[in-house]
Structure 1
Amino acid sequence: MIAYRIVFLVAAFCNVNGEDAYLPSYIKQCGYNDPDFASCVQQQVVLSLPQFTKGIPELGVPSIDPINLDDIIIDGNGLKLSLRKAQMHGLSTVHVTDLKVNLKDESFNLTFVANMSVSGVYNIDGRILVLPIKGDGDCLILADNTEVEISSKLTFVKGKNGEHLKLVTPNYKYQIEKTTFQFENLFNGNKELSDSMHQFANANWKQLMDDLAPPVIKQIVRTGVKAINKFFNKVTAQQLINDYPHN
């Protein structure tokens, strides 16, 4: 994301006037008719992100670091893995590499890179490739240089006081450069077996992440879009965007 609060800034950057005093002072306006609208948007996202990740309680926007995740259950390919009480950390490290917002084409595209981690309580039993693995306890999963690309339709919805923006049918893809696993209490605390398995799992991290990453990324995107649309529903596009052309 995730990242996903980054998308919120696409709304908030646009127009900060006397009537919109509730918007944070660190969010500056970009005009719809400004020829540099797209670059202005990206600049404001980058500049505002460090503050924005802390959350905006008065607008119902919580802190995004960490994000509580639903339980993750994986059962297949000879491996059973559950991850409970999971939290995703790291969106405050997001680096936006590309951001395109086109209100005329009703399109939104965001690409970001971050070092992310997931902590939680795990239970694992089965095999990674040819080696058996078994254990339960706390775990930490470090995903370095995770790149996420989100694309969505940015549409307009009629409300009582004007139009509202809304993200619909979002799609995403991702790439992870490297993953490191830290499982406590593997093999009932047997250090020799645990060290060997960590070495093997970290060398073959892609097999585990092929199953583990999709539900995590999906939750980040889904939760993010829901939060963004909740914000969009509170304020009109006319309030958010200077010279907004719709009626």
Structure 2
Amino acid sequence: MLSAIAVIFALISVSNGIKEGYLPSYINPCDLAKPSTEFVDCVKEQIEATLPHFTKGIEELGVPSLDPVALDDIHIDGNGLKLTFTHAAMHGLSDSKLSQLKLDIGKDVETFSLSFKGNMSVSAKYVVDGRILILPIQGKGDAKVNCHNIEVQIDSKLTHVKDAKGIHFKLVTPSYKYNIQSTKFEFQNLFNGNKQLSDATHQFANENWKQLMDDLSPPVIKQIVKTCVKAINKFFSNVTIPQIVKGYNN
């Protein structure tokens, strides 16, 4: 889902020890001197080309893998339900697709708006006790949350950072919103393995998935955005603006 933001400006991939100006074979830098529509179309193409590579991580630049994304522990405690996810990870970011892109680069205020959509899943260890609406739920074990058609929109400003290597982009004050079409839960060992109770609970939880996701989604999406932004800024810190965008005048 969200990994597309991590490559919005990853128009090239460089690594320590590679000569300056090196471009991998799958990248063609975009020219800011072109009409804005052509430039944006070029960036879209580079996102699609770069995404599978970037999400695997760039070890030489200290950019971590973005698929899966390790998540902090998640705790839900309210409305009669106590649910904790530990050892959690989000999978599927590398398969997300760009649905919208807007860029303002080379202006006084530089911004971008990016929307992407995909199917993703969270795997974790869980402990749950309480009720989902009127239905009791209790258990602990392995869990998987399959999310269908998550669409995320990210808006951010760009600032510039100067160091001995030159001028770099940096993402600042990112904001986001999202929508999920549907979700399916898989909890192993509910009610100590009682299949009848487990099946009934799964059916009810999956029919009322939105109540659970209203509590679960915000911390998950927030962590994903934070991880992606951190990876982008790590990349930017090792790549100057002229390397990323042709015809850019600071």
TM-score in terms of structure 2 length: 0.91
Q: Equivalent residue of 1:45, what SS? A: helix
Question: Quick check: 2:13–2:24 contact (8 Å CA) kept in 1?
Answer: no
Give the 5 Å matches for 1:3-82: 3=3, 6-13=4-11, 19-21=20-22, 23-35=23-35, 36-82=38-84
1:211 has 2:209 as partner: no
Separation in 2, partners of 1:229, 1:92: 18
Residues paired across the two proteins, number: 243
- The residue matched to 2:5 in structure 1 has which SS? helix
Structure 1 residues 12, 93: closer, same or farther in 2, change over 3 A?
closer
Distance 1:190 1:49 in 2: 43
CA distance in 1, matches of 2:67, 2:13: 26
Partner Cα separation in structure 1 for residue 158 and residue 87 of structure 2: 33
2:89 to 81, 87, 90: 87
Distance 1:180 1:15 in 2: 37
How far is the alpha carbon of 1:54 from its aligned partner? 2.4
Amino acid in structure 2 at the alignment position of 1:28 = N
What's the counterpart of residue 190 of structure 1?
194
Taking a change above 3 Å as real, the CA distance of residues 225 and 178 of structure 1, as seen in their structure-2 partners, is same
Contact 1:83 1:120 in 2 (8 A): yes
TM-score scaled by structure 1? Answer: 0.93
In 2, the alpha carbon distance for the partners of 1:97 and 1:204 equals 28
* AA in 1 matched with 2:234: K
2:111 maps to 107
When residues 76 and 112 of structure 1 are mapped into structure 2, their CA distance, relative to the original with a 3 A threshold, is same
Partners in 2 of 1:239 and 1:217 — Cα distance? 31
* 1:126 matched residue in structure 2: 130
Following TM superposition, by how much is the alpha carbon of 1:61 offset from its aligned partner in structure 2, in angstroms?
Answer: 2.2
Question: Runs of 5+ in structure 2 lacking a partner?
Answer: none
Identify the range of structure 1 (32-41 vs 175-184) with the bigger mean alpha-carbon deviation. Answer: 32-41
Per-residue deviation, 1:15: 9.5
Letter of the aligned partner of 1:218 in structure 2? K
* 1:120-179: CA deviation from partner (whole Å, max 9, x where unpaired): 100001110011111000001000000011000112222233211011110000100000
Across the aligned residues of Structure 1 and Structure 2, the Cα RMSD in angstroms comes to: 1.8
1:14, distance to aligned residue in structure 2 (A): 6.3
User: Which amino acid letter does the alignment assign opposite residue 11 of structure 1?
Assistant: F
1:144 pairs, out of 128, 148, 166, with: 148
